[in-house]
Structure formats: structure tokens, C-alpha cells
Structure 1
Amino acid sequence: MLISRQVLERSTVDVRPFALTALRHPTVSTLLANHRVLLADLLDGLGSPLHVVLPEIFEENVVKLRQAFTEAGVTADILFAKKANKADCYVRSAATLGVGVDVASTPELVKALAGGVPGHRIGVSGPEKDDTLHALAVQHGCLVAVDSISELRRLAATARLARRHASVLLRSRTAGQPASRFGLSAAERETAVGLCAELEDHISLRGFSFHLNGYSSAERATAANEMIGHCLNARRRGSLSTDLVNIGGGLPIRYVEPRLWNEFLAQNEPAHYHATKDFKDFYPYGGQPAAQALRAIMAHPVDCGERLSAKAERNGIRFMVEPGRALLDQAGFTMYRVQQVDDRRDSDGYAIVTVTGSSFSLSEQWFNSDYLPDPLLMSAQPAADETFPACVGGSTCLENDIVTWRKIGFPRQVRRGDHLVYLNTAGYQMDSNESPFHDAALPLKAVIRLGDDGAPPRWQLDGIQ
């Protein structure tokens, strides 16, 4: 306890910022190196903050995940978890590539259908979905993950009225996370399987799904193996043809090099943050790339050392995966304009940079954490001999409206009118928390595609066909 008090009371004046340099896709590097004038013009013309979305990189990520499944020797369907980003362009890319979409609300389902994704490629998740969402899902032949006995009965009634079959997954709690608020207990699952048999005129049981917190490949493989067992048990109970296991999302991505991440974790302390903020948990920014994690899940040994993928193939099981962040890796970034700089280096050892906009557009604080990759400083001024330590605050009247609590070592003094670029923000960061607080307009999204054969990039506002 004494050591902890010494850390908290340590002077912050001499604390040097730790660099967490964000990884960049080549397309992002090209935009930042060769098209800064375009980016600056877009930010000036469309407002701060501005989200830049890059559907071509999303499409590359789809190809990588498909290749990982092929290498693992399994059959799988990919559904983009729409909650990770509201941009329409990603849904249109999914439709073009034959990828499905995972939705959890009526507006999300409507947008997926409007973006060209057919109903049979749409999964409907979320707890205790309302009757409106059920009716639309049944009408379009979507796959519904049922969370409770009561929801199963309501869905069957909806299907009966519509004179259609509802395709269903039963979401089950796992042995590793039995206290989850999502899914059926073991007893409820057995009851639900029997009820599906009774309601076979209106319900088609396709398989099982689960919800996990965290990014452990081993835990996800173990849970998937449990679901295979549930499929086999359901088959033994009669004419039910269950052949689908949804392993959910939770595929990690890599924001920074693992070496940097491990060094950061070893040195991290409250003195590195504005107001000695003490964060307890962070996203694993130096973790496995998604395709590598997927291969690890499929290769994980289950019963008697058999690979999960081999067991699935032997039993005629298909997999479904619902990546959000993994498909959005590097597929967008966020730009802010610097509104003011409060230089407190003489007193506190760092400055407070205020940007036009708020932390609602960088949503990691929703998870009581900080978005850690270093923002880039875009300016016509050259780098200085010494770094300029600063945290970044939003322009609202909230004390906790801090875009970056961690003190960043900028390469020169930050000035009013400069631009900050936060890389790799498409996955959950851009719009999960955005709010028209202070009657401010919600930030816009600019869709950019690089031109072929040296042609300039093409851009348009998201949602405009």
C-alpha cells in the first residue's frame, strides 16, 4: 500500500510520455503521406471531428478471414457485426462480397436489407428481441438467436401468424461463463430443444450460439466445442437437423507492435495520465491479428486432442462468425481540429490540447478505459528537438470530456488550427457513444477510395449513393 501511495503522489512534471505508435495499413500511409491537402480540406469543409471510412480495407479483411477458414479446412459463414460501426458503406461492401450482417435492432435490420444483404444472410441477435424485430426477421427469413424460453414462444407465435418458419439458434450459456446475463441455462436449453420439436411447424432449429466476454482463443474454442455437443444431443432427440455453431465475434486485432505494448504495460502508471487517472483495464492493443486468432481457435485441441476444426468436419458442423472490429481493422480513422492549447508545462509538466468535438467520438471511455494508440499531429511546422507532452480534451463543459487522458509526446508544440489524426478507429470507436450534446451536429463520415493508376482519391459522404 505504501508503494501505491508513493506512485500516486509522485510529481508528474518529469514524467516522459511513452510512445505507442499506431500501426498503419499501406492505404492509410498513402493518404497521410500524399493526400494531406485533401484530408485537411475535408476536415475544414465537413467539420471536426470527421470520420474517414475506407471500405476497400474492410473488403481485404473479409478475404483474409475467408482464407483463414479455408486453411483450417472448415465451412463457415461470416456476418459483419453492424453494431461496430453505423456506416452504410461497410454493409454495401458486405452485400457485394456475399457476406452476411449481424443485427440487434429493427433499424439495423432495415439498413442491412436496404444495403443489399438478403434476409437469409442476416443474423438477429440481442436479448429478448421485441415483436417488431421478430416479425421483420421472420418475413425476410433471417436467422434469429433466441435468448430465452419466453422469446422462443413469442417468435413461434409470430411465425404462425405469418404462416412462415422461423430459423433459430439457441443461445446458451457456457460452462466458462455461467453467470452471463445472455443465453439459456443447461436446464432451459433442454426445455427449448424439446419445445422446438413441438413447434416444428413454425420453428426450425439450426444450431447453437453463445456469448463470451474477452478475447481468449482457447476459451472460445472450448465454448464452440460445447455447442457442437449440444448439436449432437439435439440430433439424438429426434428429427432435428442441427448443423450450425455460431462462435460470435471477439476476434482481437493488433493496433501496435507487441514489443511496444509489453513495454507500455511494464511502465504504465497513473502519473502518465491527466489528473493521475488510474485505469484498471485496457483493450489488448498488442494482441494477435484476427486471422491468426481464428486459426488458433480452429486448431485448438478439444476431445482427446482432436482439433476443433476436425471435430466439426467429422460431425457435419458448419461455423458462423460475427466479427465487427476484426473486419474494420485499419478501415477508418478520425480527425480533430485543435481549438486551443493550454500550456501548463511550467507548472504541471504537460499541456492540455482542446479539440473541436468531444470524447463521445472516441468511445473507449464507454469501457472505462483510454484509447491508447498515439494520435498523429498534422501540421506544416517541422518537428522540434524536444517532445511536447500533452493530453487531449474535448470542447464540451464536462470535466471528464478527455479524448486522450494519456500524455502524448508530440514531435513539436501543438498549435491552434493543427489537426490530430486518431488511427484505426472504425471498430467501435467512431460512433458507439456519439451524441448531439450541446446541440452539436453528429460528425460526418467521408468514404474514401484510392484511385487506380495514380488517379486522385475519390470521396463522398457515407449514405449518399
Structure 2
Amino acid sequence: MSTVLESSAGGAADPAEAAFVYRDGGLQAEQVPLARIAEAVGTPCYVYAGGAMQATYRALASALGAVGLPTTICYAVKANPHVAVIRGFAALGAGADVVSEGELRRALAAGVPPERIVFAGVGKTEAEMAFALETGILQFNAESIDELKVLDAVAGRLGRTAPVALRVNPDVDARTHAKIATGKAGNKFGIDIDQMPATLALLRDLKNLRLDGLAVHIGSQLVHAEPYEAAFARLAELAREVLAGGWRLRHLDLGGGMGIPYGPARDGRSAALPLDAYVAAVKRTVGSLGLPLVFEPGRYLVGNAGLLLARVLYVKQGRSKRFVILDAAMNDLIRPTLYDAWHEIVPVAEPAPGAALEPVDVVGPICESGDIFAHDRLLPPVAPGDLIAILSTGAYGATMSSTYNSRLPAPEVMVRGGDSAVIKARPDHAAMIAQDRLPAWLEESGRTR
């Protein structure tokens, strides 16, 4: 048996056990052979290791305990919004970080108590605000002065007081991909730290809002603790000023964005946020304030606990490249196309020791040159019909998928130990087409022919 996912230190990436391992000649999800899943539900499909997700949550909660303050972990639903995923964390006491009414409703359906739900996002609508107020959530992470004014008006109409945390933009470089950086002055997120005095002055006049906390979130897939420390230090300084001004803060929200390893150590892509350094940064910066803390991890909890299972359709030799064409496509996993994201790709059948590797482009069947998972990736020889696993797709995989080219959505399967269950079935073509509606004039045109 060999471990597929490894940390840069050479140990299992999951704190309790490797989510995916080769055993008896084939890749398994925990104790379930992927070949068996492919036979049952077809490909492409997403497979999640539920036991590994929960083990990661427990390890994170334990590590954060070293800060010595009351802690609430609110799972960032956007990473993977399946109700089964959310419920697994809720059963361990997790809250939820949501950015839409849809995500809020999913969190509630999964059993997350409203008082453990944080509503973030720069574009909350009045209808979303009203629903969240009536639900009784923990707080709104407010991101602009205009949002505060609208929220105050909505709360006034409902006769309620809205709990608010001001999301601060600390102007800190998160050292991550530009499209997922959120804490620089040029980003759309948060209230510029220089605008805080004016924002606090406005809050004194908005009688339907209650300032409960301050929040910060500087980006996603952070693998260095230093940007966190810089952001948390600025938040701590602001918190002291706010407290000195006579405001009562109930907690600080330190956001999420913790990075995971996306590849093996041999290519330098396996960097992950060192948890001990992160916890130390939290303790050094905000620990002395004595305020309860809220954390919003998403990718960190689910990313490495998921994979996209696909089958090789063709192996095509071009003039200068060899292409491995899969039945999965960019509509199933858009991260490589959207972010130039790197995912480890492995055959499901365990390669022979010392198997020769060859550079191939791993691509999908969609009529776009951007439908590609990897350029010049070194893989052992594969043939049509072979199963392939694209790793670390538990976060921002299925949730960002589409039906481009009228392709059927990939089903989702969850395993725990030796058990497996289809948690989202693949629809058929008739069901997808039935969602379309013809205008009356075209219906009549069809009947006269």
C-alpha cells in the first residue's frame, strides 16, 4: 500500500489518514475501491472522503485550542455546498459562513444552528438581509457604508436589530493568485481601514444595527503565515481603538483562506499553510485581547478530501504532443482553465514500480482549446478505458461546474470507511431538456407543422 497524497514533510496530508491510497493494486477512497464506484455510477464523478473531512476538522479545532480563547469554526459553504458535507461538519459543532440566501438555506437544511451562521459578501440584497434577520443568524459581515445603511433600513422595517461585524480591508498582500486575493486596497472586499473612523461615526446614527465584531479575510489558498500575521496585527490595533472608543465587541472574525497542498513535493507545488505557524500568529496578534474568535475555513477542510474520477476516451498522438482525452471536461472542473490551477493526476490502477513516465496533455472533450487539465504532465502509459483520478478537487470543483455543451453534471459520491453513498445523482438528458420552456409563439409554430 502506498500513499497518494503526501505533505511536504512526507507524511499523510490528512491528519488522521490518507483520504486516497493504493491498495490491492487500485486506488481507494478510504476503504472503497474507485473502480467499484466508477462501475456503479459511471464517469466522470466526484468522490468525497467524508471520514477524512471530519478528521481534518477535528485536527483544526484541536490546534486552535492552543490560542486559549473561545472559538467558533464556521465552514465556508462556498467551497463545497453539498448538504451532506455541511451536515458532517455541523455534527461536530461547526457553524457556517455563507454568501447568499441559497447557501444560508443549505446550511439550515444541514442542521447548522442559525446563531452559528455568518453572512458575508459584498452584494447582499434586501431580500437576503430580511431572510437572514428573520432566521436569527450570528452576524452580517458588512463590507461597505452603503450596505450598512441598507441593512439598517431593512432591520427597521422588520422591527429587528441586525448584529454586524465590520469587515476590514487591511491592505495586505496575501501572496496568492490575483483572482482570489481579497485584502488589498484595490480589491472589492471590505471597508478600507482608513474609512473606519467615518464608518464608526455613521454606526452611532444607525439605530437598528449593533456592532458585535470586526472581521478580516485577505484571500484564499494562503500558504504563508506572514500575511495573516500582518492582517491580524492591523485588526488587533483597530480593535483596541474601537474598544477605547466605548464600543463593546463580542468577537473577532479572522476569516479563512488556509491553503492546502495541491501536488507532490517533487515539483515544489506541495506547499500548505503550516498550521502551527498560523496558530502562533493568531495568538501573538489577537490573543491578548481576550475576545472570542470566529474562523471560516473552507478549502482547508474539504479540498484534499475529494477527487474527480474520469475515464480515458482516447490517447491521441499529435505532431508535437501526446494527448490523453478524458470524459471529464472543464465544465466539470474549471479551476485549471480559470486559475491555471495545478492538480495531481494519477491512474486508478497502481502503476508498476519504476514505470516509465511520458509527458502528455490531459484534456477534455469540449470544443475549447482551454478545456485542459494539465500541460506536459508526466504520467505512466494509459490506454482508452483506463480510469484516471484528478486529486484535490473537494473544494471549488462540483460547486463551480456547469452544463456547458449540454453535458450532464457529474454525480457526487461520499465514502466513510468502507461505506459509500450517492449524494447527488447524475440527471438524464430528458430531465435537463425539460427545464427549458418554449415561448407561446414557438409552441404554436411547432403544432402547425
If the TM-score is normalised by the length of the shorter chain, which range does it land in?
Answer: 0.7 to 0.9
Partner amino acid, structure 2, of 1:171? R
Tell me the residue number matched to 1:423. 391
Q: Is 1:295 matched up with 2:262?
A: no
1:146 is aligned with what amino acid? A
Instruction: After TM superposition, list the pairs within 5 Å mapping 1:323-334 onto structure 2.
Output: 323-334=297-308
Contact 2:19 2:304 in 1 (8 A): no
Point out which structure has higher relative CO (alpha carbons under 8 A, 6+ apart).
1
1:316 aligns with 2:299: no
The match for 1:210 among 208, 216, 220 is: 216
Describe how 1:222-301 pairs up with structure 2 within 5 A. Answer: 222-238=230-246, 240-258=247-265, 260-262=266-268, 285-289=269-273, 291-299=275-283
d(CA) in 2 for partners of 1:82, 1:107: 10
Q: Which moved more, 1:431-440 or 1:29-38?
A: 29-38
Residues of 2 paired with 1:295 and 1:460: CA distance?
A: 35
Other-structure match for 2:334: 363
Q: Map Cα deviations across residues 357-382 of structure 1 (whole Å, 9 max, x no partner).
A: 20232332254313242x11124886
Distance 1:228 1:366, change over 3 A: farther
Going from structure 1 to structure 2, the CA distance change for 1:290 and 1:252 (only over 3 Å counts) comes to: farther
CA separation of 1:364 and 1:406: change in aligned 2, threshold 3 A? farther
2:37 matches 1:63: no
Q: Is the 8 A contact 1:363 1:433 kept in 2?
A: yes
Question: Could you tell me which residue of structure 1 aligns to residue 379 of structure 2?
Answer: 409
The one-letter code matched in structure 1 to 2:327 is T
Contact 1:357 1:396 in 2 (8 A): no
- Answer whether contact 1:372 1:406 (CA < 8 A) is retained: no
Q: Which runs of 5+ in 1 are unaligned?
A: 1-20, 263-284, 300-306, 451-456
Q: Which residue of 1 aligns with 2:188?
A: 181
Q: How does 1:92-241 map to 2 (within 5 A)?
A: 92-142=87-137, 143-176=139-172, 177-200=184-207, 202-213=208-219, 215=222, 216-238=224-246, 240-241=247-248
- May I ask how many residue pairs the two structures share in their alignment? 397
Aligned-residue offset at 1:161: 1.8
Q: In angstroms, what is the RMSD of aligned CA positions?
A: 2.6
Structure 2 contact 27–350 (Cα < 8 Å) conserved:
no
Aligned residues of 2:312 and 2:386 also touching (Cα < 8 A): yes
Cα distance, 1:407 vs structure 2: 2.2
1:428-452: per-residue Cα shift (whole Å, max 9, x none)?
2x224311012111111001111xx
Distance 1:336-1:293 versus aligned 2 partners, 3 A rule: farther
Unmatched tracts of structure 2, length 5 or more: 7-11, 173-183, 426-449
Identity of aligned residues (%): 23
| TM-aligned CA distance change 1:385 to 1:39, over 3 Å | closer
1:438 aligned to which of 405, 418, 423: 405
Counterpart secondary structure, 1:62: helix
TM-score by length of 2: 0.81
Change (3 A) 1:329 1:110: same
From 377, 383, 394, the counterpart of 2:347 = 377
Structure 2 CA distance for partners of 1:368 and 1:379, relative to 1, 3 Å? same
Aligned to 2:75, the other structure's residue is in SS state strand
Name the TM-score, length of structure 1 as normaliser: 0.79
How much does 1:37 deviate?
A: 8.1
Partner secondary structure for residue 43 of structure 1: helix
